[in-house]
Amino acid sequence: MNRRLAAVAGVWLPAVLLARPVRAQSPGELLVAARAQLERLNVDSAAALLARVRDPSLRASPGQRAVASVLTGAGALIVGQEARARAAFRDALVIDPLLHVDSLASLHSDLTRVFEAARAGPATLVVALPRDSVLNADSGVLRIGVHTSRRVLVTAILSSGASAEPPVYQDSQTVAGVGGFSWRPGASTPIPTGAFTLRVSVRDPVPDPAGFAATLQVERLAVDTASPPPAVAAADLLPETTRVRERQPRSLLVGIAFGAAAATLADMGAQGPGGRDGRALIVGGAISLGGIVGFFSGRYANRPIQENVVRNREVQAANAAARDSVARENARRRAAAGVRVVVTGETP
């Protein structure tokens, strides 16, 4: 038993002790190594190294992934597969439209030609958009950076998504490599808030142009506003009228006029031997008496108190001025409040 264990240990222990420790390579080191392999025409070795660069766990930068695609294309050229090389170059341009391969031209004599042919194909587009930005409400500008693989007409449209509503922002420009759009939220009144869709598209006669879409959440930043002073309470105002009893001359006139008319009504028409009907006087007297009672009993009327009216107006005006002042200040604060723009979804 001990002899067998000693034999196994004798075989494996030197191997373990002599083995070189495997050092973790960075994407940059892998790219350097892959280029060296290509220069030695070891395409398969280079391909293995480049496959590791594309491994998400290594977290290669977009530029490193683009170079990896270019080196992949160079390897394809070395083995005579130009179509595969062009596809790899397009992958590189999709990642970085501004990519140039001058420093890699020594890898293959056709590299530059095939790469430029790929660039002449469907335009690629990369939109650089800040993920979370706070803009000044009045003068803030959201920069939308655009990189294109070649000279094309680019259109940016920011809309709420409802087809019936006009876009919040729309602009077009010819971009040859580097360009950009500037959306000023304060240009719209009121400042649009909510979810908006940003679409950046390329107008290009070459089929299958690139496009970009992102969802932007736009919101006003909360501001600390002041509370307006309360309205003037009724208890703070002085009575503006006083209730007084007034005589009613009109009632007296009506009573006398109708009473006289009733009393003389007995003279209308024929008179009998007994003379005029005295009962008309009863009715006339009753009406006149009613008018006299109405005159003296009078009626209650509200008579204005000018001093109190003036004072109440001053109080009301002062209160209104204070409320207006607070309202203006709150409006100013709201207008000055920033606008936050957050990219919540992105579709390259």
Between 230 and 272, whose beta carbon lies closer to another protein?
Answer: 272
298 near another protein, rule: CB under 8 A: yes
Between 122 and 294, whose beta carbon lies closer to another protein?
Answer: 294
Between 18 and 300, whose beta carbon lies closer to another protein?
Answer: 300
Q: In this structure, what token pair is assigned to residue 116?
A: 């430029």
301 near another protein, rule: CB under 8 A: no
How many angstroms separate the CA atoms of 169 and 198, rounded? 9
243 near another protein, rule: CB under 8 A: no
261 near another protein, rule: CB under 8 A: yes
Q: What three-state secondary structure class fits 226?
A: coil
Between 58 and 265, whose beta carbon lies closer to another protein?
Answer: 265
How many angstroms separate the CA atoms of 198 and 283, rounded? 92
Q: Which of 11, 15, 83, 270 lies at the binding interface for another protein (CB under 8 A)?
A: 270
DSSP class per residue in 29-46:
HHHHHHHHHHHTT-HHHH
CB of 286 to another protein, least distance (A): 6
CB of 294 to another protein, least distance (A): 2
Which helix (H) or strand (E) segment is 135 a member of? strand 132-135
Q: Which of 43, 284, 339, 341 lies at the binding interface for another protein (CB under 8 A)?
A: 284
14 near another protein, rule: CB under 8 A: no
245 near another protein, rule: CB under 8 A: no
CB of 257 to another protein, least distance (A): 8
282 near another protein, rule: CB under 8 A: yes
Q: In this structure, what token pair is assigned to residue 300?
A: 């209650």
Distances, alpha carbon 130 to alpha carbons 15, 175, 226, in Å = 53, 20, 33
262 near another protein, rule: CB under 8 A: yes
CB 151, CB 182: distance < 8 Å: no
268 near another protein, rule: CB under 8 A: yes
CB 209, CB 234: distance < 8 Å: no
Q: What three-state secondary structure class fits 270?
A: coil
315 near another protein, rule: CB under 8 A: no
Between 116 and 246, whose beta carbon lies closer to another protein?
Answer: 246
How many angstroms separate the CA atoms of 281 and 157, rounded? 95
Instruction: For residue 217, give the DSSP letter.
Output: E
Nearest to 134 by CA among 348, 345, 342, 344: 342
User: How do strand 169-183 and strand 194-203 relate by DSSP bridges?
Assistant: unpaired
Q: Which of 250, 303, 313, 328 lies at the binding interface for another protein (CB under 8 A)?
A: 250
Q: What three-state secondary structure class fits 242?
A: strand
Residues touching another protein, count (CB under 8 A)? 34
Between 105 and 265, whose beta carbon lies closer to another protein?
Answer: 265
Residues 6+ apart with CB under 8 A from 179: 145, 146, 147, 148, 154, 173
CB of 239 to another protein, least distance (A): 25
279 near another protein, rule: CB under 8 A: yes
Binding site for another protein (CB under 8 A): 248, 250-252, 254-255, 258, 261-262, 265-266, 268-274, 277, 279-280, 282-284, 286-287, 290-291, 293-295, 297-299
